[in-house]
Structure 1
Amino acid sequence: MAERHAKLADGLRLILLLTGTRTGRTLNELAEEMGVGRRTVERMLAAIKEVCGGLEQVPTDEAQKRWRLPASTLSRVKPLTAAEAAEMDLAARRLAAEGLEERAALLRNAAEKLRAAMDARALQRAEPDVEAMLAAEGLAMRPGPRVHVPERLIATLREAILANRRIRLAYRPSRGALREHVVEPYGLLYGTRPYLLAARVDKPDAAVWRLDRVLSAEPMNEAFSPRPGFTLPALAAQSFGVWREAPHQVVLRFTGSAAVEARHWAFHPTQRFETQPDGALVLRFEAGGLDEMAYHFATWGEAVEVLEPPALRERLAALGAALVRRHGAP
């Protein structure tokens, strides 16, 4: 999912969370429900306060402050522009095209609620422009098949994540027989495939579970306390893509002709770029997931060279050799 679409969906969801509560929500509660860090919630609240106004602190005896938006606040929000309305519709279409129909439905519902809060005359003026913009902007479809995951499975997992409830997974790995596992779910990761990030009760670390290999997910009447440091942003940042393994110090060198393009990529949250005297660009980051790194950096061809670690060089070389054996001249 495009980053801007994710931010848009998160902002709308936060507004609905704040308006749908009488007792208010703490920063920690919002961060947990949104699956983001506390600082991210603070920035989003500041933006909502600037646009909507009316952000209220609910009186409470608790140490943490609780926040809410009065329902009447939405009536004072500036009307949606045609560009904003079209962007929400495009974001929902993009989510649906990626096979994430449930998330698309959530965004469509949020957009409809915001439209409902608009003045009828403003909405009437905006709708023709929205239709024109949608006709002029399309989606570049990702080629190839998309993994189908039942919407009910994602809904069940989301409910368990928000409630801190253990779930019993019937899971079939790529190799081996179907097995059941009791896991503590921490979040959902969306990439080329959707994954569950969860920790088995008998293991110290979290792992990723492909949702298309989950045959069933049964919520259990067992609550769990999140393990220290087990937040979705923290766990996801330890890996390249979704694969989790011991982190490596990764150093790559892009040629001068590829340096400009490479600098525009967000390869990893810990990345650092170093421009070289000859115009080349060195990229450094720390992460696990060598297989996924090899698959991605192979697409850069001769424009990138792996300097560290040796294991990544070996995997890229093995991948190239396998492609030559399969597709090389007889």
Structure 2
Amino acid sequence: MRHEKATRLLELARLLASSAEGLTLDEMAQAMGVGRRTAERMRDAVRDAFPQMDEIDDPPTKRFKIPSGLDGIFQAPTADEFAALHAAAEQFRAMGATGRSAALLNLEQKVLSAMRAGVRRKLAPDLEALLEAEAISIHAGPRPFEDESVLGAIRDAIKSLRRLRFKYQGGSTPGRVREITPFGVLFGRSNYLVGAEGNSKEPRTWRLDRVADLEVTETFGAKPEDFTLQAFVERSFGIYQDEVEEVRLRILPHGAEEAMGWRFHPTQRLEPLADGGVLATFHAGGMRELAWHLFTWGDKVEILGPERLKQMMRDELAVALAAHGAPC
């Protein structure tokens, strides 16, 4: 029965989209073989699904039609979609990613300007209500460096398969000029260029806020065919790349419910234990960042392996104790 109703509504939508002058309620009722009240309900349901429906005064009645024909029926954005786009732009802005925020807001304006005035008016109340009712919670942390000229140069180099040259103020030799084949960009608490230096194919990371005098060279440079940015990200718990090891964490029973809904790493496996706890296992590098994260779990987690992670945790605890003093 539900499928039959959906089919009937789509049939009415096709009629409204194919009619040049539109249909009155009585004409809808006659075409669909239903009463006027049923035709009203069907019209309202179609209008909810297709907000681009036009209402045309034709005294003493009104006519309704869906403009742009069948091709435009499913292409009009909804208030929910605009709200999601606007929320993403606001999240970028709050993070300090002004370039990406501006790009999304420009896209929003382009889509709105391409829509008919009547459709925009119908969307406006719902969109305003959603924007007032939803907000983004931004976690404390550094604002990422995001310079459009830097990102633009990196994108140009990637698209044209050319290398980048810049002076890097980080690393063991600050100020040294590097020539890098760009593989991609990682966005996060800090933004990083991923690429290989010189003739190497091994990917490394460079913080964009430490890049100076960036230029796109004429030298050919392309990432290896088997390289994917996602696979590179999954090699580490965070940004820092080091030896990939199997991580085994025992989440105690009083943290088990939280752990079952937690995403430690894309390669993770979560296994309930007989005592009510959870065993989390995954393969990653970046033990220092993982140790920092595990501080947030307090007494809910026990590190089973690797030993390097245990030692990293002990070292970080020792640093914290030294900074804040031993308890009396």
Normalization by structure 1: what TM-score?
Answer: 0.73
Q: Which amino acid in 2 is paired with 1:265?
A: W
Counterpart position of 1:291: 288
CA distance in 2, matches of 1:150, 1:109: 17
Q: Which amino acid in 2 is paired with 1:297?
A: L
Counterpart position of 2:18: none
Given candidates 268, 290, 293, the residue that maps to 1:271 is 268
CA distance in 1, matches of 2:318, 2:205: 28
**Secondary structure, aligned partner of 2:150:** helix
CA distance in 2, matches of 1:322, 1:163: 47
CA distance in 2, matches of 1:154, 1:233: 19
Say if 2:222 is the partner of 1:225.
yes
How far the C-alpha of 1:232 sits from its partner, in A, is 1.0
1:79–1:228 Cα change, 3 Å: closer
- Counterparts of 1:22-101 in structure 2, within 5 Å, are 75-101=72-98
How far the C-alpha of 1:116 sits from its partner, in A, is 2.8
Normalization by structure 2: what TM-score?
Answer: 0.74
Residues 27-76 of structure 1: CA deviation (Å, up to 9, x unaligned): xxxxxxxxxxxxxxxxxxxxxxxxxxxxxxxxxxxxxxxxxxxxx99844
Counterpart position of 1:139: 136
How far the C-alpha of 1:177 sits from its partner, in A, is 2.6
Counterpart position of 2:241: 244
Q: Which amino acid in 2 is paired with 1:299?
A: T
Given candidates 116, 119, 124, the residue that maps to 1:122 is 119
Given candidates 209, 214, 220, the residue that maps to 2:211 is 214
Provide runs of 4+ in structure 1 moved above 3 Å.
72-78
- Counterparts of 1:169-180 in structure 2, within 5 Å, are 169-173=166-170, 175-180=172-177
1:254–1:201 Cα change, 3 Å: same
Counterpart position of 1:108: 105
- Is the contact between residue 158 and residue 222 of structure 2 (CA under 8 Å) also seen in structure 1? no
CA distance in 2, matches of 1:231, 1:112: 33
**Secondary structure, aligned partner of 1:284:** strand
Counterpart position of 1:151: 148
CA distance in 1, matches of 2:220, 2:199: 15
How far the C-alpha of 1:159 sits from its partner, in A, is 1.8
- Is the contact between residue 165 and residue 180 of structure 2 (CA under 8 Å) also seen in structure 1? yes
Residues 122-164 of structure 1: CA deviation (Å, up to 9, x unaligned): 2111112212221222221322441433221112112212222
**More deviation in 150-159 or 76-85?**
76-85
CA distance in 2, matches of 1:73, 1:291: 56
Given candidates 180, 183, 196, the residue that maps to 2:180 is 183
**Secondary structure, aligned partner of 2:76:** coil
CA distance in 2, matches of 1:125, 1:282: 51
CA distance in 1, matches of 2:266, 2:87: 27
How far the C-alpha of 1:228 sits from its partner, in A, is 3.5
Given candidates 310, 314, 319, the residue that maps to 1:313 is 310
How far the C-alpha of 1:207 sits from its partner, in A, is 0.6
How far the C-alpha of 1:79 sits from its partner, in A, is 2.3
How far the C-alpha of 1:229 sits from its partner, in A, is 1.9
Q: How many residues align?
A: 259
How far the C-alpha of 1:108 sits from its partner, in A, is 1.6
How far the C-alpha of 1:176 sits from its partner, in A, is 3.6
- Is the contact between residue 198 and residue 208 of structure 1 (CA under 8 Å) also seen in structure 2? yes
CA distance in 1, matches of 2:218, 2:302: 51
**More deviation in 313-322 or 173-182?**
173-182
Aligned Cα root-mean-square deviation (Å): 2.0
**Secondary structure, aligned partner of 2:215:** strand
Given candidates 166, 191, 195, the residue that maps to 2:192 is 195
CA distance in 1, matches of 2:156, 2:73: 32
Say if 2:160 is the partner of 1:163.
yes
CA distance in 2, matches of 1:74, 1:234: 38
Q: Which amino acid in 1 is paired with 2:321?
A: V
CA distance in 2, matches of 1:284, 1:213: 35
How far the C-alpha of 1:294 sits from its partner, in A, is 1.1
Given candidates 180, 200, 205, the residue that maps to 2:202 is 205
Indicate the percent of aligned positions where both proteins have the same amino acid: 35
CA distance in 2, matches of 1:199, 1:238: 16
